[in-house]
Amino acid sequence: MNGVPLVAYLALGLFMFTTGVVGVVIRRNPIVIFMCIELMLNAVNLTFLAFARYQYTKLPVGDLQQQSSMMAGQMMVIFVMAVAAAEVAVGLGIIMAIFRLRQNIDIDEMNLLRG
Amino acid sequence: MESNSIWLVILLPILGFLFQALIGPRLGKGAGAKKTLGIAAVLPIALSFVVGLLITLNLAGRAPSDRSVVVAGPDWISVMGLRLPFEWVVDPLSMTMVLIITGIGALIHLYSTGYMAQERDYSRFFAYLNLFIAAMLILVLGNNLALLFIGWEGVGLCSYLLIGFWYKDVVNAKAANKAFIVNRIGDWSLMLGMFLIVALIATNTDRFAGDRYLSYDVMLPALQGILQDNPGMATAIALLLFGGAAGKSAQFPLYLWLPDAMAGPTPVSALIHAATMVTSGVVLLNRMHVVFEYSPLASAIICMIGAFTALFAALIAFGQTDIKKVLAYSTVSQLGFMFVACGAGAYWAGMFHVTTHAFFKALLFLGAGAVIHAMAHDQDMRNYGNLRKYMPITFGTMAVGWLAISGFPLLSGFFSKEAIIGSALASDHPTVQGMRFGQISGWVALGVAALTALYMTRLTCLTFFGKEERWRNIPATEETHDERHSLADSGTILNEDLSSPRYAAARELEEAEHPVVENVVETRTLPSVDPHGFFYKAGEEPHKEHEHHHALDQNHQPHEVPASMWIPLAVLAVLSLIGGYALETNHAFRHWLYPQELPVLGQVPAAYPNLLYLSLAAAIGGLVLGWLFYSRGLPKDQGHDESGWNPLRRAERDQFGYDGAATTLAVQGGGDLATALWQWFDRSVIDGIVNGSGLVARGAGMALRLLQTGVVRAYALMMLVGVVGILGYFFYAMTTGVGR
Amino acid sequence: MNQSLGGVTITPNLLLFGALGGAAAMAAVGVVAFNNAVRSALCLVLNFFLLAIVYFTLNAEMMGITQVVVYTGAIMVLFLFVIMLLNLGAPQLLRDREDPKRWLGLLLGFALFAIVAGQIFPSLLSHTNIGAVDGYGSPQAIGRTLFTQYVLPFEAVSILLLIGIVGSILLAKRRI
């Protein structure tokens, strides 16, 4: 929107990202961890779109490279969404499989890879 | 003859060596083969002598300033601006030495064909002997220090090979080792001296004419200018060069190999350890006399060490009963004289004594060899007596040698000793802080001259004079090798304590392989410490290989030696008689070697008031005293029963404890050092590092393993820590401009 | 009416964004803070919805629609299904226990925010220029770019989705 500084969007994105990071470290429920990961991905999406809109580059408007960087942000968002979707599907499938095996989805109990 | 023929002089002995080494063994062991080999051994040396003589005559025919010719050859080393070619210097000093080496060498080769006639390894002996002559020629003829060093090392090697010629007896092998190792210490000192010279060259290259920096004709004039500004360097170089000379020429404290070197065959002792190799030190000092002229301190030290060595060795000679040992210590003593002369600045007097000493000492050694040959290889003088009846020619020639070394007037030794003592007493050069060390060493030398006459008279009287033929007292018994080469005579070579812990492992191995059987009589108490048989046991009979001889007992009848042995004796006797007189007439020798004044010292006087009377008194006094003591045969208190000897004589027999101390220090000390290093350094430090690095790796791995808990959240936390850290660092760097 | 706050002029647009953004932030905190997983999921749904509206203010209309349809409509539904399935089996599992590592995580999160914010805020505070034209987020523009310049990543992502399908079916089967 006109009048809203770029920083505002970036600040929101940063806040969401940080919250997601804290959530991954703190929560023990793997499903909630996944949700925090989704939160982080969305923060990144927001950042991409913000930069795509505000074009924080030093190139003149109408330049070919500037045109392509204008659309590049949105392309990134599309792909991030697609990847996030695939990742959620597979990840939740893994959680279901583990639950079926162990009747327990506390992530701290899953430490078979320890050295 | 042209000076270029000097190549011939050097190549002939090398060809002789190659012939003896490669073709010699194929000729078989018969008498005909030995005749061929003998001729093939003597001929190259004799031819070298003839060529050398012709070159010398050519040289003598020129003007005195024209007598130095450099004969150049191909390059040996040419790197970084330093060129060391194969080049020979033909000048009076080198030709004098060439004549001595090849002349006396040829005589000794001839003598050896008779002395070693029953030797199985005939060709090997002459191969080594020819190789020695070649190496010595390279030493004296080389025109640069590197070639001198090649010759230096070569003669050391040949000395080792020849001393240990009968290597199957471990005593001889150890004597050869001792000679080589002690020589090596001297070589190290010589190398340091050469390195100092090179360092001087490197900082002063502009003073040199040309790029052959180590060649005498280029180096010595330049050194004059350099050392004038650097007297400290001159002293350092002089002392290091003298260290090398002390090793080769058996001065205190590096003399101790020479008596042990008598374990080699007598011709070897005559050639190497009397006439040629041991004089290399004096030759070196004569070549590099410029350095010594700039350093009164070093010259004083040389004088004093020479005088001390002369006195020390002369005293020890009184306590020796082995005829070769007396002559060995006599050599050490006479070498001390030569160094007194060189220290005093009268380098020509040193060379004069080299020449006359070569005559009479070679004569004495060859004569002693004849006596030993005649007395069934017994070297103990207490078993001789009245031999002049049986060996007249040997007696006649050895008497000339005896009188010559004692300084009897008009014989060769008289002139050379007078020159030395006179120059020492009159010289101002070795004066340090007002103390005239030249004078001190001169008086000491005079005293030693008297002592020389005394002990040589002792030797001659015990051997040739006296009515009693003391070997008749030995009952006719089985041949026992124990007395033949008694270890007590050979010094302290085999004195290790074989029951010490160091040999524990060897003893256990020996016991495991050869368990002790009861009822075996051990004739010697030394167990073998090499179970793999590198050395033959000293208890076996090592001499069966080389000669058969019967024991010395009361029925023994000594006889004169064959012609091949007494002809060299005669020639050398004639030289000893007239050589000194001939060379000293009109100071011919001095003008031959040093026609001009010395660069720094100018004319070194050789005259001293009443010098003639003093030296006559010393010589005649020594001769008369000796005659009084020994003309009636062996005195009662110097007999076979050594506990009856007086304490001074017993101390002299043991070299005043020096040899024992040095050997203990070196052998025991070296062993202890090696053991300590092994146990402490090798095991703790090196193994510690090697094993320790393994332990560290393992420990680190075990510590890092604990990080892998398997708890995913902990991993996530660690990742977060890392991310915050890296981001923090980057942003910090960006704001403060670090690494922008 | 247009005051300035720390160098930034206050406009109605800014206030609107402030409301949306604030609500989204609180929803994000809610995702992390609620112990109950269902509540976390519902907060996340709210967050995504608000985010879609923010995308609309950024003129990325197509992205906003896609956010609603894909994220809230598919992904969050999937989450809620799984939560429900697991809830049936063991209700007590979804409660978290006390954990000392929490505080370290919170501290680090705060540090991360502080570090990055310290970089962004001072230098970008004045930037309000809009470079892109209106209508750049329309489906036509996106479609044009996606199927010409970015066709290769598009194909790659389709393979990725195929793999995701196969993988999730395999994982969910009782017997392989």
Q: Any idea which of B129-138, B207-216, B498-507, C50-59 has the lowest mean pLDDT? A: B498-507
Q: pLDDT tens digits for B570-609? A: 989 888 888 888 887 778 888 888 888 777 777 777 777 8
Report pLDDT for A66: 66
Nearest CA in chain C to B727: C115
Q: pLDDT tens digits for B636-693? A: 777 777 777 788 888 888 888 888 888 888 888 889 999 988 888 888 888 889 999 9
Nearest to C115 among B713, B720, B727 (CB): B727
CB B545 within 8 A of CB B375: no
Residues C67 and C142 in one domain: no
Is residue C132 in some structural domain?
no
- Mark which of B653, B681, B700 sits at the end of a domain: B653
CA-to-CA distance for B46 and B102, rounded, in angstroms?
7
Concatenating the DSSP letter of every residue in B408-441 gives -TTSHHHHHHHHHHHHHHH--SSEETTEEHHHHH
Q: Do you find a cis peptide bond into A5, omega within 30 degrees of 0?
A: no
Query: Cβ B710–A115 below 8 Å, yes or no?
Result: yes
Query: Cβ A88–C75 below 8 Å, yes or no?
Result: yes
Question: Which residues in chain C touch residue B734, judged by CB atoms under 8 angstroms apart?
Answer: 119
Chain C nearest CA to A58, separation (Å): 10
Report pLDDT for C14: 85
Cα dihedral across residues B562, B565, B569, B571: positive or negative:
positive
- Residue C17 forms contact with A (CB below 8 Å): yes
Mean pLDDT of A40-51: 94
CA B544 from centre of chain: 29
The yes-or-no verdict on residue C64 having pLDDT over 80 is yes
CB B192 within 8 A of CB B213: no
Query: Cβ C32–A23 below 8 Å, yes or no?
Result: yes
**SS3 of B74, please?**
strand
Are β-strands C4-5 and C8-9 bridged in parallel, bridged antiparallel, or unpaired? Answer: antiparallel
**SS3 of B494, please?**
coil
Which pLDDT band holds residue A105 (cuts at 50, 70, 90)?
A: low
CA-to-CA distance for B552 and B561, rounded, in angstroms?
17
Question: Which residues in chain A touch residue C18, judged by CB atoms under 8 angstroms apart?
Answer: 8
Q: pLDDT tens digits for A70-84? A: 788 899 999 999 999
CA-to-CA distance for B161 and B157, rounded, in angstroms?
6
Suggest the residue from A25, A27, A33, A95 to mutate for an interface test with chain B (most B CBs closer than 10 A).
A25
Query: Cβ B723–C118 below 8 Å, yes or no?
Result: no
Q: Which domain holds residue C53?
A: 1-92
For residue A20, report the phi and psi dihedrals to the nearest 5 degrees: -60, -40
Cα dihedral across residues B338, B342, B344, B348: positive or negative:
positive
Residues B583 and B728 in one domain: no
CA-to-CA distance for B341 and B345, rounded, in angstroms?
7
Cα dihedral across residues B473, B479, B480, B481: positive or negative:
positive
pTM flag (> 0.90): no
Mean pLDDT of B106-110: 92
CA B425 from centre of chain: 28
Nearest CA in chain C to B718: C105
Query: Cβ B727–C108 below 8 Å, yes or no?
Result: no
Nearest to B710 among A21, A25, A111 (CB): A111
CA-to-CA distance for B277 and B162, rounded, in angstroms?
12
Nearest to B141 by CA among B340, B317, B352, B287: B287
Is residue B99 in some structural domain?
no
Q: pLDDT tens digits for C24-39? A: 999 999 999 988 888 9
Is residue B669 in some structural domain?
yes
Q: What percent of chain B has pLDDT over 70?
A: 89
Q: Which chains does C contact via 3+ CB–CB distances below 8 A?
A: A, B
Chain C nearest CA to A66, separation (Å): 9
Suggest the residue from B715, B720, B723 to mutate for an interface test with chain C (most C CBs closer than 10 A).
B720
Query: Which residue bears the tokens 């750049």?
Result: C136
Is residue C131 in some structural domain?
no
Amino acid, res. B209: A
Report pLDDT for B399: 92
CA-to-CA distance for B348 and B329, rounded, in angstroms?
24
CB B350 within 8 A of CB B285: yes
Domain count, chain B: 3
Question: Which residues in chain B touch residue C101, judged by CB atoms under 8 angstroms apart?
Answer: 713-714, 717
- Residue B714 forms contact with C (CB below 8 Å): yes
The more confidently predicted of residues B276 and B283 is B283
CA-to-CA distance for C30 and C39, rounded, in angstroms?
8
Residues C77 and C151 in one domain: no
Residues B510 and B632 in one domain: no
Which pLDDT band holds residue B306 (cuts at 50, 70, 90)?
A: very high
Query: Cβ B714–C101 below 8 Å, yes or no?
Result: yes
Domain count, chain C: 2
Query: Cβ B713–A114 below 8 Å, yes or no?
Result: no
Question: Which residues in chain A touch residue C52, judged by CB atoms under 8 angstroms apart?
Answer: none
Residues B530 and B585 in one domain: no
Residues C82 and C7 in one domain: yes
CA-to-CA distance for C89 and C94, rounded, in angstroms?
11
CB C36 within 8 A of CB A29: no
Nearest to C127 by CA among A71, A13, A54, A50: A54
Q: CA–CA distance from B729 to each of A22, B720, B736, C108, C112 (Å)?
A: 21, 14, 11, 15, 12
What residues form DSSP beta bridges with B75? B85
Residues B312 and B450 in one domain: yes
**SS3 of B681, please?**
helix
CA B536 from centre of chain: 26
CB B347 within 8 A of CB B285: yes
- Residue C80 forms contact with A (CB below 8 Å): no
CATH topology for the A6-109 domain: Helix Hairpins (1.10.287)
Chain B nearest CA to A1, separation (Å): 30
The more confidently predicted of residues B501 and A14 is A14
CA-to-CA distance for B357 and B404, rounded, in angstroms?
9
Q: pLDDT tens digits for C130-169? A: 666 666 788 888 888 899 889 999 999 999 999 999 988 8
**SS3 of B728, please?**
helix
Query: Which residue bears the tokens 């019967």?
Result: B550
Q: What percent of chain B has pLDDT over 90?
A: 33
Query: Cβ A95–C128 below 8 Å, yes or no?
Result: no
CB B606 within 8 A of CB B426: yes
Q: pLDDT tens digits for B531-550? A: 444 444 344 444 444 444 56
In terms of Cβ atoms closer than 10 Å to its own Cβ (0-12, 13-18, 19+), residue A70 is buried
Suggest the residue from C51, C61, C62, C142 to mutate for an interface test with chain A (most A CBs closer than 10 A).
C51
Q: Please list, in sequence order, all residues whose beta carbon lies within 8 angstroms of the beta carbon of residue B594, skipping any fewer than 6 positions away.
A: B347, B348
CA-to-CA distance for B731 and C137, rounded, in angstroms?
33
Nearest to B658 by CA among B253, B297, B229: B253
Chain C nearest CA to B728, separation (Å): 6
Which ranges constitute the DSSP H helices of B249-295? 257-260, 266-270, 280-287, 289-293
- Where does chain C show beta strands of DSSP type E? 4-5, 8-9
Is residue C60 in some structural domain?
yes
CA-to-CA distance for B471 and B479, rounded, in angstroms?
15
Is residue B506 in some structural domain?
yes
Amino acid, res. A26: I
Residues B313 and B427 in one domain: yes
CA-to-CA distance for B643 and B623, rounded, in angstroms?
28
CA-to-CA distance for B655 and B179, rounded, in angstroms?
17
- Mark which of B653, B679, B697 sits at the end of a domain: B653
Question: Which residues in chain B touch residue A111, judged by CB atoms under 8 angstroms apart?
Answer: 709-712
CA B713 from centre of chain: 83
Residues B562 and B460 in one domain: yes
Chain B nearest CA to C12, separation (Å): 34
Concatenating the DSSP letter of every residue in C100-136 gives THHHHHHHHHHHHHHHHHHHHHHHHTT-----SPTTT
Is residue B435 in some structural domain?
yes
Is residue C110 in some structural domain?
no
Question: Which residues in chain B touch residue C112, judged by CB atoms under 8 angstroms apart?
Answer: 720, 723-724, 727
Residues C83 and C2 in one domain: yes
Chain C nearest CA to B706, separation (Å): 18
For residue C150, report the phi and psi dihedrals to the nearest 5 degrees: -110, 35
Question: Which residues in chain C touch residue A41, judged by CB atoms under 8 angstroms apart?
Answer: none
Is residue C6 in some structural domain?
yes
Question: Which residues in chain B touch residue C108, judged by CB atoms under 8 angstroms apart?
Answer: 717, 720-721, 724
Residues B402 and B467 in one domain: yes
CB B182 within 8 A of CB B257: yes
Q: pLDDT tens digits for B415-435? A: 889 889 988 888 888 888 878
**SS3 of C4, please?**
strand
Residues C149 and C85 in one domain: no
- Residue B72 forms contact with C (CB below 8 Å): no
- Helix (H) or strand (E) holding B87, with range, is strand B82-90
Length reported for chain C: 176
**Burial readout B5-25 (b: 16 or more C-beta within 10 A, e: otherwise):** ebebbbebbbbbbebbbeebb
What residues form DSSP beta bridges with B322? B380
Nearest to B113 by CA among B123, B101, B103: B123
Is residue C117 in some structural domain?
no
Q: Which domain holds residue B639?
A: 300-319+337-352+374-477+557-653
Mean pLDDT of B433-440: 83
Nearest CA in chain A to B723: A21
Chain B nearest CA to C6, separation (Å): 22
**SS3 of B702, please?**
helix
CATH of the domain at C49: 1.20.120.1200
Residues B403 and B546 in one domain: no
- Mark which of C92, C107, C129 sits at the end of a domain: C92
In terms of Cβ atoms closer than 10 Å to its own Cβ (0-12, 13-18, 19+), residue B433 is exposed
Is residue B380 in some structural domain?
yes
Is residue B249 in some structural domain?
no
Q: Kindly report the average pLDDT of chain B as a whole number.
A: 83
Is residue C101 in some structural domain?
no
- Mark which of C66, C92, C118 sits at the end of a domain: C92
Nearest to B359 by CA among B690, B688, B99, B678: B99
Nearest CA in chain B to A27: B713
Q: How many CB atoms neighbour CB C15 within 10 A?
A: 12
Mean pLDDT of B707-712: 80
The yes-or-no verdict on residue B505 having pLDDT over 70 is no
CA-to-CA distance for B51 and B57, rounded, in angstroms?
10
Nearest to A112 among B705, B710, B717 (CB): B710
Residues C57 and C142 in one domain: no
Please give the structure tokens belonging to residue B417.
């000793």
- Where does A1-115 show beta strands of DSSP type E? none
User: Is the interface score ipTM higher than 0.90?
Assistant: no
Residues B730 and B700 in one domain: yes
Helix axes B231-248, B280-287, angle to 10 degrees: 160
CB B485 within 8 A of CB B171: yes
Restricting to A residues 86-105, those with a Cβ less than 8 Å away from any Cβ of C are 86-90, 92-97, 99-100, 103-105
Please give the structure tokens belonging to residue B531.
């179970």
For residue B79, give the DSSP letter.
Answer: E
Residues C64 and C143 in one domain: no
Is residue C44 in some structural domain?
yes
Nearest CA in chain A to C21: A12
Residues B693 and B587 in one domain: no
